[in-house]
């Protein structure tokens, strides 16, 4: 009788990234974090200033989202710093992911309240050319950053990195919503488009908060 074909254990085990691949991913994640913090710091300042000047709740909300994205990047910076320590990083990763989720809740709550108040009172924002330019630039830059971050998350085995990538992707979506609202107000005089865009921002932020809070842990490749 012929002996059955045996498959060795090494043939069935899926190996994680090598140490050099992981180190390279960590280094790239840190560089992307620096770029995110730099861009969003400028973006947030300009958006809030322009939003206050124009009385635009969607623009101010977008600026606050930029501030939250900076905070998410700083949280991820702390998470990546745990790489210097020996052992698994799952506990640090879970805490970082929860903190990012909470930041989404803060954004959604603030913008929803302000947008609803503006719709109820009929507050008409002024047109904001700087806001339109800022939204267009963000729409061009953010998708690239989001894709770059998302590719690194599985290598790092980090749900926090995935949540940070989702936050950057959300920023791209918010840029599109903001651009529609601001241009509609500027070109067509639809004042209500601005607070409606704000409500759209709040809904997207709340959905992302729920997704991040319930996210399942990725394979922790640090201790694979």
Tell me what the pLDDT averaged over the chain comes to. Answer: 80
Q: What is the mean pLDDT of residues 189-204?
A: 87
pLDDT higher than 80, residue 151: yes
List the domain range (segments joined by +) for residue 59.
19-223
What is the pLDDT at residue 13? 44
What is the pLDDT at residue 89? 62
pLDDT higher than 80, residue 175: yes
**CATH assignment at residue 158:** 1.20.1510
What is the percentage of the chain residues whose pLDDT exceeds 70? 83
Q: Is residue 215 part of a domain?
A: yes
What is the pLDDT at residue 53? 92
| Cα-to-chain-centroid distance, residue 47 | 17
Q: Is residue 218 part of a domain?
A: yes
Task: Name the domain count of the chain.
Answer: 1
Q: Is residue 8 part of a domain?
A: no
Q: What is the mean pLDDT of residues 24-42?
A: 87
Q: Is residue 159 part of a domain?
A: yes
Q: Which residue has the higher pLDDT, 54 or 97?
A: 54
Q: Is residue 1 part of a domain?
A: no
Closest CA to 224 of 21, 3, 11, 6: 21
Report if pTM > 0.75: no
Q: Is residue 42 part of a domain?
A: yes
What is the pLDDT at residue 11? 45
What is the pLDDT at residue 221? 53
């Amino acid at each position: 009788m012929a002996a059955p074909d045996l498959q060795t254990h090494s043939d069935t085990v899926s190996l994680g990234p090598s140490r050099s691949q992981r180190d390279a991913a960590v280094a790239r994640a840190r560089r992307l974090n620096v770029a995110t913090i730099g861009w969003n710091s400028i973006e947030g300042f300009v958006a809030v200033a322009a939003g206050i000047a124009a009385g635009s709740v969607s623009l101010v909300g977008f600026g606050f989202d930029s501030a939250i994205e900076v905070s998410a990047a700083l949280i991820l910076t702390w998470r990546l710093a745990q790489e210097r320590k020996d052992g698994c990083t799952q506990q640090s990763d879970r805490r970082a992911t929860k903190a990012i989720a909470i930041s989404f809740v803060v954004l959604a709550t603030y913008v929803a309240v302000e947008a609803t108040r503006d719709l109820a009172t009929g507050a008409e924002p002024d047109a904001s050319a700087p806001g339109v330019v800022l939204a267009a630039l963000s729409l061009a830059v953010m998708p690239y950053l989001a894709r770059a971050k998302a590719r690194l998350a599985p290598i790092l085995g980090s749900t926090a990195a995935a949540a940070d990538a989702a936050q950057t992707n959300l920023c791209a979506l918010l840029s599109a919503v903001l651009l529609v609202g601001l241009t509609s107000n500027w070109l067509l005089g639809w004042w209500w488009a601005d607070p409606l865009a704000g409500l759209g921002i709040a809904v997207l932020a709340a959905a992302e908060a729920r997704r991040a809070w319930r996210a399942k842990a990725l394979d922790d490749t640090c201790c694979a």
